[in-house]
Amino acid sequence: MEVNLKKMNCKLSCFEELPPLEYFKQLNVYQNLHLSSKNLEISNIENTNPKIEIYSTKIIDTKITESIKGTSLEGQHLSGKNLIVVGNINMSLILECSTKGKKNKSAKKREIINFNMPFSTVIVTPEDICTTNTINLRYLIEDITVAKISLNQVLVSVTMLIQYID
């Protein structure tokens, strides 16, 4: 099964013009990053735009009864068919650090940390979805939060929306 993945380009002024989302999932993926050196003190953190990679998709039938059709409280159209999506969020952090060396001298340096955050989610899909077609998905990175937890530990949290396009 081939996956066609596109990035959503939304401006704040265009949300009224967009059709309502029918088959989507909003998810949060987070990861704690440990820096190797205990002598580093982080002074500034910058992040790059994440890139999404989809490794695997599978359509499963979850219908138990005929009465499962309807709309959820979040606005999803329930059909009894689900799409399992497995992928990675790839991104980089640029850290400005000061290191304490011998004789308490400190030196500033910049480090780039490349990492990926694996994710998996389930998206409700239309009942008449065919298993041999191309799966059309699009995504929107809604929020990226990077927080320093301790001297050598950083928390990275990404909130994103993935939509199945019928």
pLDDT value of residue 125: 85
154 neighbors 93 (Cβ within 8 angstroms): yes
pLDDT value of residue 55: 92
pLDDT value of residue 43: 79
Q: How far is CA 38 from CA 98, 100, 152, in A?
A: 11, 10, 6
* Residues paired with 111 in a beta bridge: 95
Cβ partners under 8 Å of residue 94, min gap 6 = 45, 46, 47, 48, 110, 111, 112
In this prediction the pTM is: 0.80
Q: Residue written as tokens 């979040």?
A: 74
Cβ partners under 8 Å of residue 156, min gap 6 = 30, 31, 33, 47, 91, 93, 115, 117, 144, 145, 146
What does pLDDT average to over the chain?
Answer: 81
